[in-house]
């Protein structure tokens, strides 16, 4: 089998694609033109070692309100350097306008300042300066720290070089942060109370809470929310929308054209198969400008995907798939690392913590629930034939004739076709969909030439099946033994790609020392991040959080950040000491 791997960037006009999910008609055209979507991202800290985990929360604000409207269901998160080289990229599910997750910094990452940015599919219609962008510092343990005199600027000054205007939020609401005491012992329970201040007592807010080693959270108040570079509100007044909101999970889109003339091909069927355990199958027709779009729901991790086009009057067809991540960046200036020898003790401690976590693993990050797409899209076939249960026949045509009487092969002008009988109506319809290893095929002669020894089973759906807007009178499914398409050659206009879908979320799960055996365990517990909760709701009454301290004595910062339902930024800070 020939696999064609194609990664082509091709911008798509959304005035036609929007018809797939949000039709542009007289009733809602005004809404789509005034729609504004903004992302705010917080991380558990600002200073990391290569190989460590970054925990984050992303809040999605629609038309300056939070949780009143839900639009996008996927947020794109990237980690890249000043040269715009991406170290990590992932897609995370948005639930109730909030996405929370984590990812690991590659161990080979060099020391330096890096950028984390978050954006939605819809935000790609506007300049990348509008993407939520935050600066973090990553230290590779093999990196030699410069002397103290070599560093003259603070991180606050250096972030001003990201764009022409880097700013935090003004008039942040001060969250009241209180602990049941200020000094704690090792593995002792800690109670943390969060409360909205008097004038804002009746407001509801979603908050993230991070309890980290003193020194790893270095950004000043007023710049903690997200470093959004040159946020240009006027950019949201654009009329030429290219990218539609992903309201039903991860999408994939592209364009079909005639190869020689580059003329777009309209009104032809495009087929998509997701291979593997979480299989899917979709059919859509191209728009007038040859564009197509599929919604894949909430598949997780990387999936092998087939996209193909049915033959079209002998035309030489080419298919372009849009790049799923943005390759547009604002102008970035090099920001020298602002870590010197005064951080030596802290970084050495972080390294000990990191290595002990890897070796002893006192706790594991649990998995978040991610919507799973159903499997077996066509369900149980009406006819199922396992070839191993029957005597060997010479060819597939004989197998259909002898063993599957509801399927007949007819010839007309030397052109063969399958016909399937419906036992409920006694009507016979020409086959509309023939699948080989879950992938649509159109060359029946090539299929019939496959040796039966390579085939495991044949299934038939002989009743009407509705697939989206498509009515299928029947489906014939052939599975090869090796799931390698039994040597079938796919035509031009067919591609196989490994496509990144939803990155599985994780929950931060710290040790519980509530019983004596755990409290007296000799497994060491050294953590730079003592506690992390990406989404805590707070309203009229205060909210109390409980967790346990670790074995790592010293000072810790309590950092609280979040947003109210009407889009106001919140910030709170506290301190504890562990002796």
Domain end (from 461, 489, 517)? 489
**532/511 Cα distance (integer angstroms):** 12
* pLDDT at site 334: 82
Contacts of 397 (CB under 8 A, 6+ apart): 409, 448
Asked if the structure places residue 123 within a domain, the reply is yes
* pLDDT at site 18: 35
* pLDDT at site 332: 86
Asked if the structure places residue 357 within a domain, the reply is yes
* Whether 419 and 337 share a structural domain: no
* Whether 520 and 457 share a structural domain: no
* pLDDT at site 371: 55
Mean pLDDT in residue range 26-42 = 71
* pLDDT at site 365: 54
Asked if the structure places residue 13 within a domain, the reply is no
- Name the pLDDT band for 31 (thresholds 50, 70, 90): low
> Is the pLDDT assigned to residue 464 strictly greater than 70?
yes
Domain at 484, CATH number:
2.170.130.10
> Is the pLDDT assigned to residue 260 strictly greater than 60?
yes
Domain end (from 489, 521, 555)? 489
Compute and round to an integer the Cα radius of gyration of the chain: 29
* Whether 398 and 363 share a structural domain: no
Looking at residue 33, the DSSP 8-state letter turns out to be H
* pLDDT at site 364: 53
The more confident residue out of 221 and 217 is: 217
Query: Which range has the worst mean pLDDT, 233-242, 294-303, 522-531?
Result: 233-242
**Helices and strands (H, E) in the chain, number of each type:** 7, 38
The more confident residue out of 234 and 48 is: 48
Contacts of 211 (CB under 8 A, 6+ apart): 192, 529, 530, 531, 532, 547, 556, 557, 558, 559, 576
- Name the pLDDT band for 338 (thresholds 50, 70, 90): confident
Contacts of 156 (CB under 8 A, 6+ apart): 219, 220, 223
* Whether 363 and 414 share a structural domain: no
Nearest to 329 by CA among 86, 499, 104, 38: 86
Nearest to 576 by CA among 140, 312, 89, 186: 186
Instruction: Judge whether 232 and 129 are in contact, CB under 8 Å.
Output: yes
pLDDT tens digits, residue range 549-576? Answer: 999 999 999 999 999 998 899 999 999 9
> Is the pLDDT assigned to residue 236 strictly greater than 70?
no
Instruction: For residue 168, give its domain range.
Output: 35-230+330-370+506-578
Neighbours of 354 (CB within 10 A): 20
* pLDDT at site 2: 41
CA angle 238, 240, 246 (to 5 degrees): 95
* Whether 392 and 540 share a structural domain: no
Query: Which range has the worst mean pLDDT, 330-334, 444-448, 500-504?
Result: 330-334
What Cα–Cα distance (Å) separates residue 369 from each residue in 15, 276, 504? 34, 20, 8
Domain at 64, CATH number:
2.60.40.1930
Length of the chain: 579
Count CA atoms closer than 13 A to 46's CA, side-chain side. Answer: 24
Lateral strand order in the sheet of 495-500: 280-285, 269-274, 302-309, 495-500
Domain end (from 437, 459, 489)? 489
Q: How many domains does the chain have?
A: 2
Backbone phi, psi, residue 484, to 5°: -120, 20
* Whether 525 and 460 share a structural domain: no
Mean pLDDT in residue range 347-363 = 84
Mean pLDDT in residue range 21-43 = 65
Give the alpha-carbon dihedral of 121, 127, 133, 138, to 10 degrees.
Answer: 100
**467/252 Cα distance (integer angstroms):** 18
**94/74 Cα distance (integer angstroms):** 5
* Whether 84 and 175 share a structural domain: yes
> Is the pLDDT assigned to residue 15 strictly greater than 80?
no
Nearest to 568 by CA among 100, 175, 195: 175
* pLDDT at site 150: 40
* pLDDT at site 240: 65
Query: Which range has the worst mean pLDDT, 133-147, 155-169, 503-517?
Result: 155-169
- Name the pLDDT band for 397 (thresholds 50, 70, 90): very high
Asked if the structure places residue 307 within a domain, the reply is no
**Strand ranges (E), 510-567:** 529-538, 543-548, 554-564
* pLDDT at site 168: 40
* Whether 57 and 153 share a structural domain: yes
Query: Which range has the worst mean pLDDT, 60-69, 77-86, 185-194?
Result: 60-69
pLDDT tens digits, residue range 161-217? Answer: 333 223 345 578 999 999 999 999 999 999 999 999 988 888 889 999 999 999 999
- The DSSP string of 118-140 is EE-TGGGGS-GGGSEEEEEEEE-
Asked if the structure places residue 136 within a domain, the reply is yes
* Whether 70 and 140 share a structural domain: yes
pLDDT tens digits, residue range 468-492? Answer: 889 999 999 999 999 999 999 998 7
* pLDDT at site 10: 34
> Is the pLDDT assigned to residue 23 strictly greater than 90?
no
**369/506 Cα distance (integer angstroms):** 9
pLDDT tens digits, residue range 83-93? Answer: 999 999 999 99
* Whether 95 and 57 share a structural domain: yes
* pLDDT at site 165: 27
* Whether 186 and 224 share a structural domain: yes
Average pLDDT of the residues of the chain: 84
* Whether 391 and 349 share a structural domain: no
pLDDT tens digits, residue range 2-12? Answer: 443 333 333 33
Asked if the structure places residue 95 within a domain, the reply is yes
Asked if the structure places residue 109 within a domain, the reply is yes
Instruction: Judge whether 438 and 281 are in contact, CB under 8 Å.
Output: yes
Mean pLDDT in residue range 281-303 = 94
Asked if the structure places residue 317 within a domain, the reply is no
Strands 132-139 and 112-119: antiparallel
What Cα–Cα distance (Å) separates residue 13 from each residue in 16, 244, 457? 7, 9, 43
> Is the pLDDT assigned to residue 230 strictly greater than 50?
no
* pLDDT at site 7: 35
């Amino acid at each position: 089998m020939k696999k064609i791997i194609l990664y082509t960037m091709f911008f798509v006009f959304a005035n036609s694609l929007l018809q797939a999910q949000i039709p542009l008609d007289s009733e809602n055209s005004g809404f789509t033109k005034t729609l504004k979507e903004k992302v705010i991202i917080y991380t558990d800290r600002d200073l990391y070692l290569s190989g460590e985990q970054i925990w984050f929360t992303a809040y999605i604000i629609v038309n300056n309100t939070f949780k009143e409207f839900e639009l996008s269901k996927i947020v794109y998160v990237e980690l890249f350097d000043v040269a715009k080289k991406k170290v990590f990229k992932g897609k995370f599910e948005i639930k109730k306008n909030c996405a929370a997750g984590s990812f690991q910094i590659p161990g080979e990452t060099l020391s330096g300042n890096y950028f984390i940015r978050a954006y939605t599919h819809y935000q790609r219609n506007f300049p990348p300066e509008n993407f939520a962008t935050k600066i973090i510092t990553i230290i590779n343990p093999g990196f030699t720290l410069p002397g103290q005199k070599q560093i003259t600027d603070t991180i606050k000054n250096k972030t001003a070089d990201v764009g022409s205007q880097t700013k935090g939020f003004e008039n942040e609401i001060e969250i009241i942060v209180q602990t049941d005491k200020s000094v704690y012992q090792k593995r002792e329970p800690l109670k943390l109370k969060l409360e909205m201040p008097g004038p804002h007592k009746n407001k509801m807010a979603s908050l993230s809470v991070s309890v980290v080693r003193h020194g790893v959270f270095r950004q000043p108040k007023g710049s903690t929310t997200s470093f959004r570079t040159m946020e240009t509100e006027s950019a949201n007044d654009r009329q030429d929308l290219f990218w539609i909101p992903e309201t039903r999970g991860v999408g994939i889109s592209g364009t079909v054209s005639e190869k020689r003339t580059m003329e777009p091909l309209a009104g032809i069927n495009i087929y998509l198969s997701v291979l593997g355990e979480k299989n899917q199958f979709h059919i859509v027709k191209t728009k007038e400008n040859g564009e197509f779009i599929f919604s894949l729901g909430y598949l997780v991790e990387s999936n092998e995907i087939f996209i193909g086009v049915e033959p079209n009057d002998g035309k030489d067809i080419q298919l372009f798939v849009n790049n799923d991540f943005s390759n547009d960046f604002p102008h970035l200036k090099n920001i020298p690392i602002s870590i010197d020898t005064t951080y030596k003790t802290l970084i050495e401690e972080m390294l000990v913590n990191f290595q002990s976590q890897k070796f002893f693993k006192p706790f594991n990050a649990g998995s978040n629930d991610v919507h799973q797409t159903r499997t077996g899209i066509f369900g149980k076939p009406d006819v199922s034939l396992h070839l191993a249960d029957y005597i060997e026949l010479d060819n597939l045509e004989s197998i259909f004739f002898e063993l599957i009487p509801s399927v007949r092969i007819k010839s007309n002008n030397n052109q063969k076709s399958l016909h399937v009988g419906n036992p409920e109506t006694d009507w016979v319809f020409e086959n509309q969909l023939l699948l080989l290893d879950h992938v649509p095929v159109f060359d029946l002669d090539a299929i019939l030439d496959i040796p039966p020894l390579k085939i495991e089973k044949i299934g038939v759906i002989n009743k009407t099946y509705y697939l989206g807007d498509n009515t299928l009178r029947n489906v014939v499914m052939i599975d090869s033994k090796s799931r390698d398409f039994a040597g079938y050659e796919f035509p031009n206009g067919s591609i196989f790609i490994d496509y990144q879908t939803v990155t599985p979320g994780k929950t931060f799960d710290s040790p519980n020392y509530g019983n004596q055996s755990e409290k007296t365990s000799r497994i060491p517990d050294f953590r730079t991040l003592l506690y992390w909760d990406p989404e805590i709701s707070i309203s009229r009454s205060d909210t109390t959080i409980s967790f346990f301290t670790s074995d790592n004595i010293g000072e810790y910062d309590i950092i609280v950040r979040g947003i109210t339902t009407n889009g106001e930024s919140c910030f709170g800070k506290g301190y504890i000491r562990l002796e």
